[in-house]
Amino acid sequence: MNTLVKKRGFTAVAGVIVLALLVFCLKYILSTALILGLGFYDMVKPYEKQTGIESYDKEYLLREYGSDLDSGLFVFPDDTDNALTATYESTLKTGLFDTDGSIFLTATYTDENFEKEIERLSNISCTVFDTDAEDSDYHTSDIIYDTTMYNYPAYVASDGYDYVYEYALADSENNRIIYVLLSYPADLINGAGLIDHMDYLKKDKGAYITNYGSALEKFSIYSFSFSEGIWSEYSPEDENHPRIGKK
């Protein structure tokens, strides 16, 4: 009799364990299927494309995509009122964790306004704070002026940080400035999504591929690492943050 009771007890315990394992496996399978499904949806989700200068709205871009793109779009002008001519094209889509795509704004100026815009670009900087505390440490980064990476002299705000590139190209012969933002450009290049804008990309297209290290270690005026392995990023609220901490 005791043996029978023990066997029944063992059978019941085994059944509970098997049931628990089945529930765990089912949860794992469903979770994996959900993640794969969402990932597939991200892949096939179409880009939202806008063209025409009337579609350029910097405030909208910041509101909808600024956080995902780790950018304050400092390089881009608030509007194109001072331009003689301007063209605009954006191709963007927001996924689970980030926004992919590109923004191209091209503007031509009078001699005077071209010089003013170059001066504005030259003086761009961004201050990032370590914490929200009033006496937080902070760091200010200046825009980089480069004459080697692109086909035109470039004012670079982001150069691959979290796979985002933000810069302005100065075509002084034509008083023209091309403002560019790219997010995950390697994918766009492979998919021929930037075929019409190749002249405004890096000369070395392989530079967009990160084979080693972290993309968070790339340059951006919008980010700074106050402690190893941790990055603080710019927020519009930082504009009113007191600068009384250690610089």
pLDDT, residue 192, reads 66
* Cα dihedral value 96, 184, 178, 92, nearest 10: -30
Question: CA triplet 18, 20, 24: central angle to 5 degrees?
Answer: 115
Nearest to 166 by CA among 64, 61, 84: 61
Domain boundaries, the chain: 1-44, 48-240
pTM of the model: 0.80
48-51 and 219-220 beta bridge pairing: unpaired
Contact 87, 54 (CB under 8 A): no
Predicted confidence (pLDDT) per residue in 25-57, tens digit: 555 454 444 333 434 444 455 788 999 999 999
Predicted confidence (pLDDT) per residue in 125-176, tens digit: 999 999 888 889 999 999 999 999 999 999 999 999 999 999 999 999 999 9
Distance CA 85, CA 108 (A): 5
Predicted confidence (pLDDT) per residue in 98-134, tens digit: 789 999 999 999 999 999 999 999 999 999 999 888 8
Question: CA triplet 22, 28, 30: central angle to 5 degrees?
Answer: 100
pLDDT at 61 over 70: yes
Q: In angstroms, what is the C-alpha Rg of the chain?
A: 25
Which uninterrupted H or E stretch holds 9? helix 2-44
